[in-house]
């Protein structure tokens, strides 16, 4: 039996716009966790996709210009892993806008572009962010171990309920990174 690809236009992805920094500051919902309260927890450990214990994280290249080799790179209050820098935050006709490029020239319009993406655009961004990760890398998805990047890509491509959750998690992560980078320093 073969899987029928799900039409990306039919993906039931709720897309509430992410607030722009400084616009209509809203109080934190009850129980919200401030990043400072998380201590040494890295942002990707809070995400939906994380390597299983004993598995290497996806490797990558990228460094912020002018930063010494091996120096930590920050996006707002979050310390980034090097593999996060070359990953796209937005796909444009001229080519992907990587997190590295965005951090070099933060632009609030990028957050607006992300919020304007339809289900197909969000699916494309999620797939582009998964490129380069080892296909056999073992993952826990939403607390369930035993998945691989290859599984995740298939779920995202097919628009399965799990794939839709991954797409939404990637949208939220990218929105967080963009918002943190645009946030004025304390």
Q: Tell me the C-alpha to C-alpha distance, in Å, between residue 178 and each of 46, 54, 87.
A: 16, 30, 13
pLDDT at 14: 47
Name which residue leads in pLDDT, 132 or 168. 168
Name which residue leads in pLDDT, 103 or 24. 103
What is the rounded CA–CA span in Å between residue 168 and residue 174?
10
pLDDT surpasses 90 at 125: yes
- Summarised one tens digit per residue, pLDDT across range 41-71 is 333 333 434 444 443 333 332 334 455 566 7
pTM of structure: 0.64
Spell out the domain ranges in the chain: 74-186
Residue 171, helix vs strand vs coil: helix
Report residue 94 as tokens.
Answer: 């001229």
Q: What is the DSSP string of 85-148?
A: TTSEEEEETTEEEEHHHHHHS--HHHHHHHHH--HHHHHHHHHHHHTTS-TT-EEEETTEEEEE
């Amino acid at each position: 039996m073969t899987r029928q690809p799900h039409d990306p236009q039919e993906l039931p992805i709720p897309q509430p716009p992410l607030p722009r920094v400084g616009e209509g500051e809203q109080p934190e919902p009850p129980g919200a966790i401030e990043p400072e309260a998380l201590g040494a927890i890295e942002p990707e450990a809070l995400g939906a996709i994380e390597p299983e214990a004993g598995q290497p994280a996806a490797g990558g290249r990228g460094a912020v210009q002018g930063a010494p080799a091996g120096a930590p790179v920050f996006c707002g209050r979050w310390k980034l892993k090097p593999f996060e820098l070359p990953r796209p935050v937005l796909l444009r006709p001229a080519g992907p806008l990587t997190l590295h490029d965005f951090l070099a020239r933060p632009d609030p319009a990028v957050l607006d572009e992300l919020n304007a993406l339809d289900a197909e655009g969000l699916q494309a961004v999620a797939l582009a962010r998964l490129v380069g990760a080892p296909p056999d890398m073992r993952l826990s998805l939403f607390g369930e171990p035993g998945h691989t990047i290859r599984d995740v890509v298939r779920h995202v491509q097919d628009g399965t309920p799990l794939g839709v959750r991954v797409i939404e998690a990637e949208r939220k992560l990218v929105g967080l990174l963009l918002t943190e980078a645009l946030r004025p320093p304390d």
